[in-house]
Each structure stands twice: as structure tokens, then as C-alpha cells.
Amino acid sequence: MTILVAAACGGDDGGGGGGGTPDGGGGGGTPDGSITPPADGFQIVTTDVTIPAGGEETWCYFFQTPNTGELGITRWESAMTPGSHHMIVYFTDQAAGTPGTLEEGCGSLSQIWTYASQTPTQTFQMPDGVGMTVPPGQYGFIEMHYLNVTDEPLAAHVTLNGVAFAPGVPYTKAAAYVTYNTNINIPPGTPQQPATATATGSCDVSPAAKFFTLSTHAHKRAVRTEVRDGASMVFQSTDWEHPGSMDWSAEPFYSFTSGKIDYRCDYSNPEARTVRTGNSAETDEMCMAVGYFFPATGPKMCLNSTVVR
């Protein structure tokens, strides 16, 4: 998921599949990035961005949803063309840019993380009777991280569907819980003797919150990520790019009985330079836990070990 920054990029001891968390492989995409618009809900198609051969760029596409009444989103769907590494959907209280326009080099932890994907196509179905609220004319932006590993320029874009409950159908509100660590500092190493480091955080969470999916996000120097509930291991992965997710599709779902989400990332750095927290999947690192829960009054963001939203 995440938040975030340019945050979601991408064995799996947690099990399950992709959800709205940042998971899956980079650099893929559907040939035209198209999906059928929903009967109830909305579709957003971003403007093409041309990525040069070997280029890595982050862009934001600003939008305002077309709905004139409140929507309850029961399912997110997305598709990305080749050259797309990941996408993150943020909601904002006000317009962060003119709807329908693009901006390069964007990303922010201060916005409302709503959905993320790092697979060419993804469907994120919420549990029965659970949905995310989209107010009328919701402002937001889609952050798109592009990585062109080919020898030719690529025109890339993404498509997002918000599939809604039929008007008048009641639902329980869900939201994202995202953690982010700004203190990553991995010393220089060598291929023969990689340097090691660890990033951790411990975030307050209500034991009444019911999580239905959970994953982690880190970059390529991460050799292990995990999420614990006290002494209990909830999720772990040794694959930074395809961490997978832990999914709970029915009651009782999962609640953190300790009242804490403890997350950790272990790193191994073979490069002759210090690596710190940052957006680039190639040059920087991240350590995040991303989950979705209900009942919710709004999204939660934990920076290092402090809940800031």
C-alpha cells in the first residue's frame, strides 16, 4: 500500500496475494493499461508520460472524482502499462494540483494513502459489507513510479477503477494503516563484506481494529521484513520485491491484541556508499508496514513510532 512518498515498490511466509498493499513485480504492465469502467463508481486514466531508455522517474497525476454523492468503494482495480514500477493513490483535503495535469518528482507522507499496486493488473476486493468512503468530488493524485529497463523510450500510464456499492447499500468503513521509517542509515560495504543495518518501529493501534490484509515494503537491500504483535509473528518475508501479503477474509480477521504494530527491516549493503531513507528504488531504502482495517473513521499514519494521523 503506502503515505507515501514514492513508497511502494515491492518466500513469502505471510501467504496470500496482492491486495491494495505495495506488492508484486516491477517493470511489467498490460499492453495498453486498459480495464473496463465499472457500472457503479468511477475510472481514472492518467496521461501518458514518455520515459527515456534506462530512465527512472516519479510523476503525479492530479484528479477530482466525478461522483456527486458519497460512494462506498468495495473493490479497487488497476492496470499499468510496461515501464510502470508502482502506483499509489492518495486522497487530499484540497486540490494538490489542477485536475487532469501531471507533475514530476512528487510524493508526500502528509496525504491520505488509499490504494497501491506494483503489479501490471490488480484487484483489491474488500470483505463482504466493508468499503472505503469516497466523498463527492474527492480531490487526489496518483503517484506513478516509472522504471524503463529497455533500450527505447516508453509511453506509460495507469488506469484506476473504484468499484462502488450500489446507491443506498450500507457498509462498514475501512481505511489504510501505514508505517514509515525516516531513520534508515546503512553504512558502506563491499560485495565481499556487505554492511548490515536494521530499521524498526513500534506503533500504537487499537485492539478493536480488524485487519484484513497486511504486508511490508522495502527496497533491494532488504533481506528480511517482518511485522509482530507482541511476541507473535504476524507477517514475514525475505523477498523485498514480491513480499506477498497476509490476508484474512472472514471473521475474526486479525486484531493486534498487544495494542502495537512492531515492524522491522534488515538490510545488507554491498555498495561503497551510505544508503538512507528515500524514494528511489535504485539508490535509497524504505521500511514500511501497510495494512487495511475496519471499522475506521479515517486512515492512520505512523511515522517512525509516532502516530501522526
Looking at the fold, whether 141 and 203 belong to one and the same domain comes out as no
Q: Taking residues 291-306, what's their average pLDDT?
A: 95
Q: What is the pLDDT of residues 157-198, one digit of tens each?
A: 999 999 999 999 999 999 999 999 999 999 999 999 999 999
- The answer to whether residues 127 and 248 belong to one domain is no
User: Among 224, 220, 216, 226, which residue's Cα sits nearest to residue 270?
Assistant: 220
pLDDT-based confidence at 39, cuts 50/70/90?
very high
Kindly state whether residue 125 falls inside one of the protein's structural domains: yes
Is 26 among the domain residues? no
Identify the domain containing residue 234 by its residue range: 175-307
- Tell me: do 163 and 262 sit in the same domain: no
What is the per-residue pLDDT across 214-234, written as a single tens digit (0 to 9) for each?
999 899 999 999 999 999 999
pTM: 0.81
Residue 213 lies in a domain: yes
Whether residues 90 and 211 fall in one domain: no
The answer on 208 and 230 residing in a single domain is yes
Residue 16 has pLDDT above 60, yes or no: no
Summarised one tens digit per residue, pLDDT across range 115-153 is 988 889 999 999 999 999 999 999 999 999 899 999 999
